[in-house]
Each structure stands twice: as structure tokens, then as C-alpha cells.
Chain A
Amino acid sequence: QVQLVQSGAEVKTPGASVKVSCKSSGYTFTDYHMHWVRQAPGKGLEWMGWINLNSGDTNYAQTFQGRVAMTRDTSITTAYMEVRGLTSDDTAVYYCARRRVGTPIDYWGQGTLVTVSS
């Protein structure tokens, strides 16, 4: 069965970086794109961008341009998302979610809570 398993919760100080991992299993990793979506406490869903798990090409939402980096390691079917220059506004649950072009996001990771606090 398809599984996306994310790394555990993180607590960071303002200005730091965080890197979240997302381990995939149960499907052909390189057939998909991995999207990242975040959700601040009590708020809605915010799309951050995607990485083509085959080519490594990326597409980031304008809000995150220059501050986020999405990478992958096909040998261990794991995608990563790093956010730099954290502020308290980045406190959120970060989700990875897979998608094929022209189809909806269909499977999501369990989410990783990132707390930014001094």
C-alpha cells in the first residue's frame, strides 16, 4: 500500500533552517511529483511547491521563492523540503503529498509539526 512517512516534529529558533523528509513506499517513486503543503495552527492549507521525483525539477510558490529547497534521493525513495530563515510565521504542520500531472494530490504524509520559537 502507498505510504508517505515524514520525519518527526522539530523546534527551531528564528533564523534557523529546517529540513523535513518524506519516505515513500508502495509505488514507483519516479512516476510522481512530490508536493509540499503547509498548515499553520487553526488555518487552511497553503501549497508550497513541487519536485519532479524523476528529473529533480522544481516549481515553488512565489511566497517561498528563495527560501525553500525541495530535493530527493531516488536511491532511498525519499523527498526533502528545507526552509531557511525561519520566523514564527513558519510555525505549521508541513505535509508531503504525491501527485501525477493532470491528476489530484491523492496520498499525503502524516505531517510534520515545525515550531519556531525563541
Chain B
Amino acid sequence: DIQMTQSPSTLSASVGDRVTITCRASQSMSSLLAWYQQKPGKAPKLLIYKTSTLQSGVPSRFSGSGSGTEFTLTISGLQPDDFATYYCQQYNSYPLTFGQGTKVEIK
């Protein structure tokens, strides 16, 4: 199984900040890595897939990069609507696995 480890677990930031979340895989994998945003009481929402492809309708301030075992999600210019929990997920192989989540809080 591919284990996904996100860091940090919690991130305090201000509106307008650039924030970066890292996701590390326990073994080298393909580019089949997705990022989801989840708000309290809601289902996750797909933001980025195949490491760096923006899902339709997602603002361009979200970007993804990485390869091998290290992947990142960057939010350039944090907006009030972006305060949420973010999860990475590998869909390279079964079982599908998620990172433990990164909560982006208001500083």
C-alpha cells in the first residue's frame, strides 16, 4: 500500500498569503495524485488531479506540482473561502489512500 503523509497538519495564515502543503508518498509513484478541499459538514471537492491539472471551475490561485514521492499544493493569495481542510490522495494503485489532511486556519 502507498502511504500518504501530509505536512503540516495545521497551518495558520492570513488572507493574501501564499501557502504550501506537502504530501509525501511512501514509495515512488506516477503522477496520479489529486488534491481535495473539504469544508465542515460538506463532501470533499476535487481541486487538482494528475498532480497539476486544475479541475474545471477551480480558481487559478490553486496549483499543484511534484513527482516521485513528493507533491505540493500551493495557494497563491489565500482568500477567505479557502480556509478549509485539504487532502491529497493517490489514485495510482489500490487501495486508494489519502493523506491525513491539512487544516488551513485564519491567523
Contacts and interface: CB of A to CB of B under 8 A. Distances in A.
Interface in B11-46: 32, 34, 36, 38, 43-46
Given A44-B87, A45-B38, 13 more contacts: A45-B87, A45-B101, A47-B95, A47-B97, A97-B43, A104-B32, A104-B34, A104-B46, A104-B50, A105-B34, A105-B46, A106-B46, A110-B43
Contacts of B62: none
Contact of A44 (B34, B91, B98): B98
Contacts of B101: 44-45
Contacts of A108: 43-45
A75 B30 CA distance: 37
A1 interface: no
Query: Which bucket holds chain A's interface residue count?
Result: 20 to 34
A74 interface: no
Contacts of A25: none
Interface of A: 35, 44-47, 59, 61-62, 95, 97, 99, 102-106, 108-111
Interface residues of B, number: 22
Nearest to B43: A108
Interface centre among A45, A105, A111 (most CB of B within 10 A): A45
B49 interface: yes
A102 B34 contact: no
Given A44-B100, A45-B87, A95-B43, A104 B95 contact: no
